[in-house]
Every structure is written in structure tokens, then in C-alpha cells.
Amino acid sequence: MSTADKQYLQLVKDILENGYYETGNRTGIPTYKLPHRMFQFNLEKEFPILTTKFVAFKTAVKELLWIYKDQSNDVKKLQEQNVHIWDEWMKEDGTIGTAYGWVVKEYNQIDNLIEGLKNDPQGRRHIMSLWQIPHLNGGTLHPCAFMTMWDVTDGRLNCMLVQR
């Protein structure tokens, strides 16, 4: 069993024993939650993909590339790749509004991050955020992944993802 699986199963147990039931979340699907838990992984040793539950890995990669590489909010681009995870939230114009890739592009976040890492590798302000308050209500869903924080230490790129 991988480190990711062990951490995941421990979190599930913790949520079931100590979490609380919430009905009014962003998707409308009732859930149990227990905020402020953290997973940590050394990507030189393993990639944190779960084996104890199904993970649509290719779909997840395509969605991440759609957000950060394409900097897109156009659901049709995902549909062309047989990815339908955003279909339910697609607006009449075929987008998800001012969310995810739209925010990355609007604030030039990729270029700013790369430039910052080049000029000040250990800086504490290398942050990308999908949570841009002026645009939250323009998106069909508020982002579940709030921000990433980056630095370079000992020649290695480090990233911390904060997700809700």
C-alpha cells in the first residue's frame, strides 16, 4: 500500500469518527467533512495516486492541463477530449464563467510565477490562486482548489496545494 493510500485511509477514518455532516456545499451533495487536514508526499519516492479507490487519472491530468496550460474555461475543449466532468456546470455560452483557467489567464499567473521563481527562488510570495473574490460569482462553481504555493530549495521545485 502506498503512502498516499495510508494517509487517505487514515483521513477517511478520522472524518467518519470526528467529522460533521454538511448539506449546503457548492455541489449540493451532502458530505461529511473535517477541515484542515494535510497530506505530504515526496514526489521523488512516489506519485500520490490512490490505489484503494478509483481515480480517473487521465481525466484529472486533462483537467489540470485545461486549467493551467490552456488557461481555459471552455467546457467544449474538455468534451473534445472525452472529458465530461464539467458538463453539468456548463453555461449557455459553453464555459464555466470566470473560474479556474479563466482566472489563471486573467491574472497572468503562470508567467508571474515563473518570473518570480527565476528572480527569487526562495521567495514566500510565489502563489497562484484560483480564488479571486471579484470573480467568484461569475463562475458556475467556486473553486475547490484555492491556491498553490511554490519555492525552489536546494535546486528542487516545491509546491504546496491548498484544497477545500
- Hey, where are the domains in the chain? 1-47
Beta bridge partners of 149: 127, 160
**What's the per-residue H, E or C state across 19-65?**
CEEECCCCCCCCEEECCCCCCCCCCCCCCCCCCCCCCCHHHHHHHHH
What integer pLDDT is reported at residue 164 of this predicted model? 65
Distances (CA, A) of 32 to 12, 17, 18, 19: 10, 10, 9, 6
Beta bridge partners of 22: 31
Nearest to 26 by CA among 142, 126, 158: 142
144 is catalytic: yes
Map grid coordinates 467533512 to a residue: 33
What integer pLDDT is reported at residue 4 of this predicted model? 86
**Catalytically annotated residue among 43, 49, 55, 144:** 144
What integer pLDDT is reported at residue 34 of this predicted model? 87
Question: Going residue by residue through the chain (164 aa), what tens digit of pLDDT does each one get?
Answer: 888 889 989 999 999 999 988 877 767 778 888 888 878 888 788 888 878 888 898 999 999 999 999 999 999 999 999 999 999 999 999 999 999 999 999 999 999 999 999 999 989 899 999 999 999 999 999 888 788 899 998 888 888 887 76
